[in-house]
Amino acid sequence: MKPILIALAAVLASAMGAALLYAWLGIYNVGAIDGHWAITRWFLHFGLRNSIETHAIGIDAPPLDDPSLFHKGLSHYQGACAPCHGTPGETRSPVADRMLPVPPHLASTVATWKPRELFWIVKNGLKYTGMPAWIAQNRDDEVWAVVAFLRQLPDLSEAEYRDFSRPPGQDGERDLETSARLIALAGTAGEQLVACARCHGLSGEGGGGGAFPRLAGQKEAYLYRTLRDYASGARPSGLMQPVAAALSEEETRRLAAFYAGADFAPDATGTDLSTDDAAKAEPDLGENIALNGIPERGVPPCTTCHGADASSGGDDFAYPTLDGQFPAYLSLQLRLWRDGRRGGGAFAEIMTAAARGLSDADIQAVSAYYAARPPGGARSAGP
């Protein structure tokens, strides 16, 4: 037995020595132009699929039929994924065709993966492929939004994808002329406004089933601070951090000023894209929480910070205006605060503590209350 073990050890040592010599001599071509052998390609794909299936075991997918999830995932895919993975009716970038391995055209291949496996891939990324991990690892809600879109991607026609990708508020009449005017108003931040419009609309009207908040008329100091918090990662988001981190100081200030000065449509309220949360909400409960809080659970009145006089302490205390905001967006933010996953700079602990005592029903109710109020109401008419 002992001679056999010695022989095996010698063979193993020789193989390792040969591999090291092969690497040291630089004979292997690491260039992406030189593809893998067929057996190597098969082995890598075999290992990749089995690894994903194993590591995704135990992940439970939440309901993924909320329109806000689809629109949020679509927006991210359009800006971050489509150049490598293509879109319905269109191929990927020629640059991606020179990658090794070549990124799959997802419209035709994504159906081979289960939702939990897609979640694992998007969140963790894939070694040796150029597929990055999700920037904000505590924002599973954003990852599931991408999965929600990917599940519907194979069924989208080229025309449907194009229609869904149109910025909120753009209806065919407000296209190139309106875009050019708004970009000119934004000054040196005009190019960045194009990226913002993909989610928030050309005039900051928001939308996407309530996925994206209204920015028009929001406080300039709040918008500026929020963009800086996104850029630094103080407010984690795999959707917003790449966008905000690319902005210069001047561009950040100009965008904040642009959206703060934008006007709402006269009849615009967050209820035009209501969700099940809003439909189930109790109006009196929402108003009571907004005006009086829930003292026995340590929940202060919302109007303490978000009412008409909430910014009396100066720009550092410029809390956001909630009136007319979408209920789906408000509900998500409150759940993130309650669960300690929201972040947001120096004042994050205030809202984390305030939201800790809210139930799901409380969140639905107060979100619906603020969504039903006319935009700008907190800045003029009091609570």
Query: Which domain, by its residues, includes 97?
Result: 43-165
The total of structural domains in the chain comes to 3
pLDDT tens, 332-361?
A: 999 999 999 998 877 788 899 999 999 999
Residue 24 inside a domain? The answer is no
254 and 293 belong to one structural domain = no
Contact criterion met (CB below 8 Å) for 247 and 256: no
Whole-number pLDDT of residue 267: 46
Q: What is the mean pLDDT of the segment spanning 134-148?
A: 97
pLDDT attached to residue 60: 96
Q: Encode pLDDT of 205-230 as tens digits.
A: 888 888 999 999 899 999 999 999 99
Same-domain check for residues 184 and 87: no
Judge whether residue 308 has pLDDT over 50. Answer: yes
Reported confidence tier of residue 272, pLDDT bands at 50, 70, 90: very low
Supply the mean pLDDT for the chain.
84
The reported pLDDT for the residue numbered 23 is: 83
Q: Convert the pLDDT of each residue in 183-203 to its tens digit.
A: 565 555 666 777 788 889 878
Is 47 in the same domain as 151?
A: yes
Encode pLDDT of 65-109 as tens digits: 999 999 999 999 998 999 999 999 888 888 888 898 999 999 999
**Residue 18 within a domain:** no
pLDDT tens profile 29-62: 888 888 888 998 899 999 999 999 999 999 999 9
Q: At what angle do helices 327-338 and 67-76 cross, to 10 degrees?
A: 80
Residue 20 included in any domain: no
